[in-house]
Amino acid sequence: MEVRSFVGRFTMDCIGICAFGLDTKAMLDDNSPFTNMGNLIFQATTTQGLKTHMRYIWPGIFYSLGLTAFPKEVDAFFRHFLLRVFDERRGKPSARKDFVEMVLSFYDKKVITGDSMKNLKTDERIKVNLKVDDELVMAQCFVFFAAGYETSATTSSFLLYELAKDQKSQERAREEVREWLRKREGHLGYECVTELPFLEQCIDETLRLYPVLGVITREVTDTYKFENGPTVERGLRVHLPIYHMHHNPKYFPDPESFRPERFAPENRHNIQPYTFFPFGEGPRLCIGMRFAKMQALAGLVTILKKYRVELAEGMPEKLEFEPRSAVTQSKTGINLKFIPLSDADEYLYPREVNAQ
């Protein structure tokens, strides 16, 4: 099975239900329009790759040419979809406490006031005031969708690949999952985010090996001189090489090996600050980080309790990345075998038991 597309459909269903209150039916329909649009956002083509790099390096030229970050059909699809959701939910009491409910509450404020930001030309600190309109609210929804979809799908796929190569770690993760489910009579809950430490270590190690974004861009707000090094002028755009930092043996010994124990409580203090930042750092930390981790854990728990994962025939021990992609992707896909475990019925969720 090509696991990236399979996990992508799972994360699409999660985001649809949890964030927007909508059943996308992505797991049941290989041609779900939501999955198709999600794939278009992160498609690996030469044109899209050039546009992505141009936007990072020369944003002024990019926008002056009238270019857009994503295909126009993606913008049109999500605009139509989100406006329909807003119209259905706006002004109507709802018991759902989802992402749409939160962003719709922005309309009551009329204006959102943020922290003061420094004008890089005048040094004046400006209070940020944003008028709330459909464009602003749709932008927040789109970013949350894109961040949660790609982060979870990519990370879960690469983690299953690494566990397929490392059966010892896979078995340890499975035993942790099963023990946790036994204590809760098979109920999967939010507590899995904090009560599955080894599986979370596996996720962090996967994010180190395969950060979703290999590079992030920031703008220097104050001139800074490195000791015995160059001076970085205010206003300069700086590209931070996340992938290189995560694979630097100075910070992570034996950097190409999958070693979840790096992130164990007794070892985590050895990781230098700002050498592991798969979601970025500071005020612009990825908005979908917590949600992405939570849905990844839920999916991995469901798989590991029922299946042993192995590499499919012909699957290499080292992946080659797609150079045209803005995010970290395998050039050939990730093909794995899912072998049902003989005692899987002992760990069914209550709804699975009721469905039998």
**Which range marks the domain in which residue 142 is found?**
3-355
pLDDT band at 28 (very low <50, low <70, confident <90, very high): confident
Higher local confidence (pLDDT), 78 or 310: 310
pLDDT band at 117 (very low <50, low <70, confident <90, very high): low
pLDDT band at 124 (very low <50, low <70, confident <90, very high): low
286 marked as binding residue:
yes
Residue 352 parent element (H or E): helix 350-355
User: Does the structure show a pLDDT above 60 at 223?
Assistant: yes
289: Cα separation from own chain's centroid: 6
**pLDDT more than 90, % of the chain:** 31
Q: Which of 132, 144, 125 is nearest to 20 (CA)?
A: 144
Question: How high is the pLDDT of residue 81?
Answer: 85
Question: How high is the pLDDT of residue 55?
Answer: 82
User: Does the structure show a pLDDT above 80 at 229?
Assistant: yes
- The contacts of residue 217 (CB under 8 Å, 6+ apart) are 56, 237, 238, 239, 240
How many angstroms separate the CA atoms of 297 and 300, rounded? 5
How many angstroms separate the CA atoms of 56 and 67, rounded? 13
Sign of CA dihedral 227, 230, 232, 238: negative
User: Does the structure show a pLDDT above 60 at 355?
Assistant: no
Q: Tokens in use for 60?
A: 């002024």
User: Does the structure show a pLDDT above 90 at 164?
Assistant: yes
Domain count, the chain: 1
Question: How high is the pLDDT of residue 5?
Answer: 85
> Most confidently modeled of 34-48, 96-110, 260-274?
260-274
- The contacts of residue 325 (CB under 8 Å, 6+ apart) are 42, 44, 49
User: Does the structure show a pLDDT above 60 at 304?
Assistant: yes
Model-level pTM? 0.86
CA end-to-end distance (rounded Å), the chain:
25
**pLDDT tens across 32-88, in order?**
888 888 888 777 778 877 887 788 788 888 888 888 878 888 888 888 888 888 887
Q: Which of 213, 195, 235, 194 is nearest to 286 (CA)?
A: 213
Residue 309, CB-side half-sphere exposure with 13 Å CA sphere? 30
Query: How much is the mean pLDDT over the chain?
Result: 84
Q: Tell me the one-letter amino acid at 156.
A: S
Question: How high is the pLDDT of residue 352?
Answer: 60
Q: What angle do CA 228, 232, 235 make, to 5 degrees?
A: 170
Per DSSP, 344 falls in state: G
In this structure, what CATH number is given to the domain that contains residue 288? 1.10.630.10
Strands 224-225, 216-219: pairing kind: unpaired
Higher local confidence (pLDDT), 292 or 275: 275
CA dihedral of 40, 283, 226, 59, whole degrees rounded to 10: 40
pLDDT band at 137 (very low <50, low <70, confident <90, very high): confident
Q: Which of 300, 17, 351, 306 is nearest to 187 (CA)?
A: 351
Question: How high is the pLDDT of residue 286?
Answer: 62
Question: How high is the pLDDT of residue 159?
Answer: 97
Which whole number is the average pLDDT over 136-152? 80
Angle formed by the axes of helices 134-165 and 289-304, nearest 10°: 40
**203: helix, coil or strand?**
helix
Burial bucket for residue 201 (CB in 10 Å: 0-12, 13-18, 19+): buried
* 191-195, 226-230, 237-241, 350-354: segment of lowest average pLDDT: 350-354
Provide the greatest CA pair distance for the chain: 69
How many angstroms separate the CA atoms of 144 and 295, rounded? 13
